[in-house]
Structure 1
Amino acid sequence: MRFDLPEPQPPRAYGGWIILIAIFSLMIGLELVQYLDRGKEPGSQRLEVFNRLRLAVETKEMVGALSSVKPANADDTLAKIEQELAKDSTKEAVAARFFSVARTEQGKGISEPVLSQLRKSKEPRDAFFAEIFSAKTLSPKRAKELETKLRGGGFISRLATVQAYEKAGDKTRREAMFPKEKSYVRIGVLSAALLFGTGGFVLLVLYGILKSQGLLPRKGFPLERISLADADRLALRCAQIFALFLGIQLAMPLVASALGKGVSKDGLTLATYLILIGAVLYIFKFPIGLKRFSLRDIGITKENLGKNIAWGFGAAMANLPLVLGAALLGQWIFAGLPKPEHPTTVQIQEGVSWFGISVIFFAASVGAPITEEIMFRGTLLPALARAWGKPVLAILAQGLLFAAIHPTGIPAWLPLATIGAMSGFLSRQTGSLVPSIVMHGVHNFGTLVIAKTILG
């Protein structure tokens, strides 16, 4: 009788897993603390109100510029904002500022207690706002002076300047602030997004039909057949990439500080992402425990490039209805928590230069997709799938981890996890990481275009 003994397996090395657990615990913990603290800050609490206020005013002007129909929904939103801020408007300058805008845009006056709150505010612009909101008329000379005082400010400053000129008899400034061309661009972008989402729903249905008929066989992860020791090595590689990510993010501001004032914030961000991309790609030249995983091994290759790019674009379309549904569900489930907010969206509203906007688009549409897909779908996902022996569970778990480390907030976890899970399923379907990178980039690019069009 012959007995065939199994080949001896190399010993497990859990160091990478331990480091990953520590990194994820630290990052998620810090993000949660910042998110919950952000919800306690008065200025942050008002950001969501500001966005609604701005959107209501711009929607009202956009519809008014394109037709004679009065947008009732915009007026309803202004009235609701007025009601929400009525109590705090006599106690807090930010609330008084937004409350006054909501009322003046409805043609209503401002009470003295609210104006008093603006006059005693530590923000110098609030005193000028109080003068504009309280005046029945202004001279053209004073309107010009107020414009100079408020120049360089954000949306509220520009709108207050328009109101100052209107009280001086100049009705042309509002049209200049809300040009018809901008309204056409917004309608075009939103129409394209609607068409994109509709096409995505069609693609989802088509994919389901083809999949049920066996016409779209799954190719498996790029690293499908690996040993448990290989999974440990991939976990360590993922931890190394995270360490690079955190180290470069922390080191670059110190380098910029040492170089002096010649380095701009936007230039620093661009340099950070270029170095990060280069470092993440270069690290695959080094072995882990005498075994080297190349970029080709994790699914980054030129083979079937056109087909993989098409998969990425199609997945971005198909995922849009799912992401929107997950976002609505997240808002409903976590309605009592602070609203989600991404630093990039806030930055876009701050009147960044075109170079700054270009850097934001590069970081979100190129830098983040490459580095994050390599971290999560290129290394972590195949490691989890092999360690657990359950690919679907691994896809869902890494999607949730992907969501939790983002600086947005708990209500945004569901849509972000949907993106992460779709990237995982896409990697398993195509056997490549290229479609996931493309899908991630297209999603981020489209999100920024919409945010810039509406909020920028």
Structure 2
Amino acid sequence: MTPKRIILGILTLLTIILVGSSLIDSITQPQIQSRLELYQTNLILHATEWQSDPEFKQDFNTLKTNLIGENAPKSALKQYENLQEAAQDNLERIQTLEPDSTSINQLEKLQDELEIRIGILQVEQGKTEKALNTWQTFIESNQSSKTQQQIKIAQVLRGIWSDPAKILPEAESTLENNLEGWFSYQALSRLYELQERQEDLQALQAKEQQIAEQALIKLIIISAIPGIGLLTGVILLVVLGIQLLLKGKESILAKNTDVTWLTPWDAETMIQVFVVGFFLVGQLVVPLTLGLIFNFLNLSPASFDVRSKAFYVWANYGFLMAGGFSVLFFSLKPFFPLPEGWFNVDWKKNWFFWGLGGYVSALPLVILVSLINQQLWNGQGGSNPLLPIALENRDPVALIIFFVTASIAAPVFEEIMFRGFLLPSLTRYMSMGSAILLSSLFFAVAHMNISEIIPLMTLGIVLGFVYTRSRNLLSSMLLHCLWNSGTLLSLYILGSGSA
């Protein structure tokens, strides 16, 4: 065995340990999906307050009902209670498995936030006595994560809904500074009614009408538009499936299935590119390099504001791309010129329709798999760390940086590495279908969150399918770009609905 292979074997073992450790650590990390559901619920609660123009009341009320349901607050209460129960189950499990995990504090804070809001939802459902008990239990509990400010919020809420009411000092500022969105509106409305401040109440209601109208528009964007794409995807899959049954090898789905790549390199080169150029660069070299730079500059990424974090993410991904492409280039240089068909980018062929068709086809498949996957992981298993930052971000410069990183840089880099290089390389040792499956698994694992492996693998299969049929990286890049852009757009809209 040559020294190169010995070193590569050691690096491969190190990579397996690093990746395995990251996946295991992600088991106890919360998923962003639970947070997304809360943000969407808060948009729906805002929308319930909207009053349409009397002239179009019937038509708009039908639209409103279709978007938010018959009794949105009741559904919201059930969702909040279910999430609270799931958070408690996860907390107990993590306390048993990892007593020192940072996720414990996150889950405790989430429970505190939920309990305060559940009380307001209970009031909205006419369960005032139950709400008073909820807040009183919160005030008296010994949860270490609770802050004095949260206790004060519960005291203020309990006071204004008690009979007789008791308005505590600084009640208005406490509610304004510590409650958001629809929950703030409900609490302040109650306070102004008790204080007989009609002008302030009318101003608050007028502002809420504006927010409610915006909430309806946002719900249409994140619900109706993807719904159209979802329906289109289902129809397209059915049509393509029927065509495959009728035409067989002459169908669109069977295109290029018999055309293989000539692969002049062996598995050692494949391992070298991904172990050194992707995993080690991304998991070891880039973090250590940036860490040394920031230590030298006496900077801590944890203390960065949103814009600085966006630049940090961009720099991190830029170093990853530079390292990955460098290793790929020098690994394949001995085989130049490459055989025909490798890393094909053709602007003249039907790449746009393959990419768009692949996107709408991926929607129903990934959504179905994700729904099943959520039940398996029950809110745990980790998420892409970029998503929570993007969800709560309002800085336009940071949003542009996030978009460039996630919707342009990531699709280009990942499609060249996984579909352009790995997938065709694997066909030297296995069938095209098996190569699509295995490359999709590596694609999913590379995102380092164990709960996202199945949905991302499903997306990877569609990406691989589109690339092998179109033989054009532009098609899979477009699909990937559309997918990431849609995710970021939904995050921005949901996050903007919390105000």
Cα 1:202–1:290 shift into 2, 3 Å: same
Counterpart of 1:203 (choices 224, 230, 236) is: 236
* Alignment size in residue pairs: 428
Q: CA deviation at 1:140?
A: 11
Cα 1:119–1:339 shift into 2, 3 Å: closer
Contact 2:176 2:184 (8 Å CA) reproduced = no
* Counterpart for residue 98 of structure 2: none
* Counterpart for residue 353 of structure 1: 395
Q: CA deviation at 1:236?
A: 2.1
Once residues 28 and 357 of structure 1 are traced to their aligned partners in structure 2, the CA distance between those partners, rounded to angstroms, is 29
Once residues 176 and 293 of structure 1 are traced to their aligned partners in structure 2, the CA distance between those partners, rounded to angstroms, is 65
Does 1:252 find its partner at 2:276?
no
Once residues 262 and 370 of structure 2 are traced to their aligned partners in structure 1, the CA distance between those partners, rounded to angstroms, is 35
In structure 2, list runs of 5 or more residues that go unmatched: 52-60, 93-107, 193-199
In structure 1, list runs of 5 or more residues that go unmatched: 1-10, 39-43, 151-155
Greater CA drift, 241-250 or 336-345:
336-345
* Counterpart for residue 426 of structure 1: 466
Cα 1:305–1:253 shift into 2, 3 Å: farther
3-state SS of paired residue (1:165)? helix
3-state SS of paired residue (1:37)? coil
Counterpart of 1:167 (choices 158, 182, 190) is: 190
* Counterpart for residue 408 of structure 1: 449
Cα 1:366–1:249 shift into 2, 3 Å: farther
Q: Which has the higher contact order (CA 8 A, sep 6+)?
A: 2
Q: Which amino acid is 1:325 matched to?
A: L
Counterpart of 2:418 (choices 366, 371, 376) is: 376
3-state SS of paired residue (2:27)? helix
Once residues 458 and 315 of structure 2 are traced to their aligned partners in structure 1, the CA distance between those partners, rounded to angstroms, is 30
* Counterpart for residue 110 of structure 1: 132
Does 1:36 find its partner at 2:52?
no
Q: CA deviation at 1:430?
A: 1.7
* Counterpart for residue 291 of structure 1: 335
Contact 1:298 1:378 (8 Å CA) reproduced = yes
Does 1:60 find its partner at 2:82?
no
Q: Which amino acid is 2:74 matched to?
A: D
Q: CA deviation at 1:33?
A: 1.9
**How do 1:60-139 and structure 2 match up within 5 A?**
60-65=45-50, 67=61, 71-79=70-78, 81-82=80-81, 85=84, 94-107=110-123, 108=128, 109-111=131-133, 112-117=136-141, 122-136=146-160
TM-score normalised according to structure 1 size: 0.79
Cα 1:17–1:183 shift into 2, 3 Å: farther
Once residues 288 and 437 of structure 2 are traced to their aligned partners in structure 1, the CA distance between those partners, rounded to angstroms, is 30
* Counterpart for residue 153 of structure 1: none
Q: CA deviation at 1:340?
A: 5.5
Counterpart of 2:434 (choices 393, 399, 407) is: 393
3-state SS of paired residue (1:65)? coil
Once residues 120 and 234 of structure 1 are traced to their aligned partners in structure 2, the CA distance between those partners, rounded to angstroms, is 50
Once residues 24 and 174 of structure 1 are traced to their aligned partners in structure 2, the CA distance between those partners, rounded to angstroms, is 57
Q: Tell me the alpha carbon deviations over residues 136-187 of structure 1, each in whole angstroms, 9 at most, x when there is no partner.
A: 168799355326754xxxxx44555434422331444466463312321321
3-state SS of paired residue (1:241)? helix
**How do 1:437-456 and structure 2 match up within 5 A?**
437-456=477-496
Once residues 471 and 368 of structure 2 are traced to their aligned partners in structure 1, the CA distance between those partners, rounded to angstroms, is 27
Q: Which amino acid is 2:351 matched to?
A: N
Q: CA deviation at 1:418?
A: 0.8
RMSD in angstroms over aligned alpha carbons? 3.9
Does 1:235 find its partner at 2:271?
yes
Q: CA deviation at 1:253?
A: 4.0
Q: Tell me the alpha carbon deviations over residues 59-102 of structure 1, each in whole angstroms, 9 at most, x when there is no partner.
A: 133144264867325413404634774897xx966424312211
* Counterpart for residue 103 of structure 2: none
Greater CA drift, 189-198 or 114-123:
114-123
Contact 1:370 1:437 (8 Å CA) reproduced = yes
TM-score normalised according to structure 2 size: 0.73
Cα 1:224–1:64 shift into 2, 3 Å: same
